[in-house]
């Protein structure tokens, strides 16, 4: 448990660093940091319960998408302000590096294994954001239609 808390704190600071690089407005730093920390913690919890890294990335990306959409509505800002720094902790950078290293040293079996997992993780991140975006749009359209029907009855 203390290891997860320590990783959460590290993810907070990593997210803060990328929020600086991507020039997120200073007032949104704490929210971006929390989203990034929660995303990494969600990923680590999925791995703890023996889910694959791809599934962990998907679930954590769904969490980032949901929290970013909520925060974008609360703060009346674009969701990308919260998505990009929050998603950075999930990017499989080590896997990309290891894939390139295996390719350069002609270990094609290792390169194919790690490279395919890296691509699946990147795809899971994109799919998680897309799924949450689609679900939110469906919910939003249902709410609008319900509100319009309610107004029409009055």
Residue for token digits 């990494």? 40
Tokens of 15: 């997210």
List pLDDT tens digits, range 8-67: 999 999 999 999 999 999 999 999 999 999 999 999 999 999 999 999 999 999 999 999
- pLDDT for res 153: 77
Among 4, 146, 14, smallest CA distance to 90 is for 14
pLDDT at 127 over 90: yes
Share of the chain above pLDDT 90, in %: 90
- pLDDT for res 52: 94
What is the spatial distance between Cα 62 and Cα 65, in angstroms, rounded to a whole number?
Answer: 5
What is the spatial distance between Cα 147 and Cα 132, in angstroms, rounded to a whole number?
Answer: 22
Sequence-separated contacts (24+) of 16-19 with Cβ below 8 Å:
16/85, 18/84, 18/85, 18/88, 19/85
List pLDDT tens digits, range 54-109: 999 999 999 999 999 999 999 999 999 999 999 999 999 899 999 999 999 999 99
Please state the length of the chain: 154
């Amino acid at each position: 448990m203390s290891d997860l808390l320590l990783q959460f704190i590290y993810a907070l600071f990593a997210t803060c660093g990328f929020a600086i690089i991507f020039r997120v407005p200073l007032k949104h730093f704490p929210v971006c940091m929390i989203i990034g920390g929660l995303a990494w913690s969600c990923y680590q919890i999925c791995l703890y319960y023996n889910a694959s890294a791809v599934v962990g990335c998907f679930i954590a990306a769904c969490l980032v998408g949901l929290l970013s959409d909520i925060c974008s509505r609360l703060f009346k800002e674009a969701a990308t302000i919260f998505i990009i720094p929050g998603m950075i902790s999930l990017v499989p950078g080590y896997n990309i590096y290891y894939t390139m290293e295996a390719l350069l040293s002609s270990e094609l079996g290792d390169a194919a294994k790690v490279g395919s997992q890296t691509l699946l993780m990147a795809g899971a991140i994109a799919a998680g954001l897309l799924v949450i975006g689609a679900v939110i749009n469906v919910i939003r359209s249902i709410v609008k239609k319900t509100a319009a029907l309610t107004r029409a009855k009055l």
